[in-house]
Amino acid sequence: MTNLLPRGLPLLALALAWLATSPPAAAQAKPFWLDLYTGEEVPFAKMVEDLAAVDVVYAGEIHTIARHHRYQTELLRALAAKGKPMALGLEQIEARHQPIVDRFNSGELDFDGLARELEWGKSWRNFEQYRPLCELAQKNGIPVRALNAPNEIIRAVGRKGLASLSPEQRRQLPAEIELNDPLYEKLMNLLLAVHMTMDPNKLQTVFEAQVARDETMAEHIAEAARGADGQPRQVFVVCGRGHVSYGLGIPDRVQRRLSQSTARIILATESGELELTEQEQAMQRDITVTHADLRSLRRPLADYLQVLPRSGQANGQDGE
């Protein structure tokens, strides 16, 4: 399978957008939900009933695909209607900015004020696409939780590894960072090859940076699930699909912290909707990730997958 990933988006956050590039979906095509354990289409309402019963819902995305943001908002709205205490965890905001986010949670700031105080446009170019999620959360009294690690610390790890951090830098990351994860490392090494400038000698430090980010987000998700006020909350996590696919990355690390917790992973297909700038295309190269490569992980991609049919199906290319 051939794929091109945008350099301008966070490294690895889109790394599992491995579905083949194809023509845009047919104008009349509508997405549907697939249960990846049964292999059958599942009604949205039935899926929501299942999601409502777990502690953490991971709603992965390819950051710039609008349909992915729409499904997340639709799911959050449906889960909020169940009346269960919830929190919305966002990869798109660094955890050190939680005091600003708390002002949004209290109603002191609206979305525009939050974006202004965070200077969000400098750190996340498509921050406007998170407006519906954030405003829905604020309207329903769902506290937003900032999850991410300081970007400069992650960059430092990516350059020289965790061991290179100063004591002050290291304190900004979780005390426990588990790097012994052969399956995750195997997958990341396969996918990192998409970057034209990737030095094979840097794979270890880049993997350490990915794990450091995952561990940071996992720590804040676990805290949100426990509830700062002592009231457990279901956490609806919005992050790049590379952090949650196959249950690797964040989910495994949350499970280590909350051993009795339950979770579901929700993803959506790329279906030819990913658009790259000329500069982004120039920074990528074709790679092949085979079915055998992924099957060796011995894990399903997710629990549920939103599928957008491709236009080729309407042209007799559906295998019949």
pLDDT number for residue 11: 38
The contacts found for 64-67 with CB under 8 angstroms, 24 or more apart, are: 64/6, 64/9, 64/126, 64/129, 64/274, 64/275, 65/268, 65/270, 65/273, 65/274, 66/129, 66/273, 67/31, 67/268, 67/273, 67/306, 67/308
Mean per-residue pLDDT for 263-275? 93
Cα–Cα nearest to 189, from 174, 201, 175: 201
21 vs 231, which has greater pLDDT?
231
- Edge-to-edge order in the sheet of strand 234-240: 40-41, 32-35, 304-307, 263-268, 56-61, 234-240, 86-94, 144-148
For residue 249, give every residue at least 6 positions away whose Cβ sits within 8 Å of its Cβ, in sequence order, or none.
184, 210, 214, 242, 243
Strand 304-307 relative to strand 263-268, pairing: parallel
Q: Is the per-residue pLDDT at 283 higher than 80? A: no
pLDDT band at 192, cuts 50/70/90?
Answer: confident
Tens-digit pLDDT profile for residues 201-215: 788 999 999 999 999
pLDDT band at 7, cuts 50/70/90?
Answer: very low
Tens-digit pLDDT profile for residues 133-177: 999 999 999 999 999 999 999 999 999 999 999 999 999 999 999
Longest dimension (CA), the chain: 61
Are residues 149 and 214 in contact, defined by beta-carbon separation less than 8 angstroms? no
Cα–Cα nearest to 65, from 240, 312, 235: 240
pLDDT band at 288, cuts 50/70/90?
Answer: confident
| Residue 310 to residue 144: CA distance in whole angstroms | 35
Radius of gyration from C-alpha coordinates of the chain: 19
| Residue 50 to residue 55: CA distance in whole angstroms | 11
Q: Where does residue 196 rank: exposed (0-12), middle (13-18), buried (19+ CB within 10 A)?
A: exposed
Q: Is the per-residue pLDDT at 106 higher than 60? A: yes
pLDDT number for residue 19: 39
- CA 229 to chain CA mean position, Å: 26
Query: Tokens representing 161?
Result: 């590894």
Q: Is the per-residue pLDDT at 277 higher than 90? A: no
pLDDT band at 57, cuts 50/70/90?
Answer: very high
pTM (predicted TM-score) = 0.87
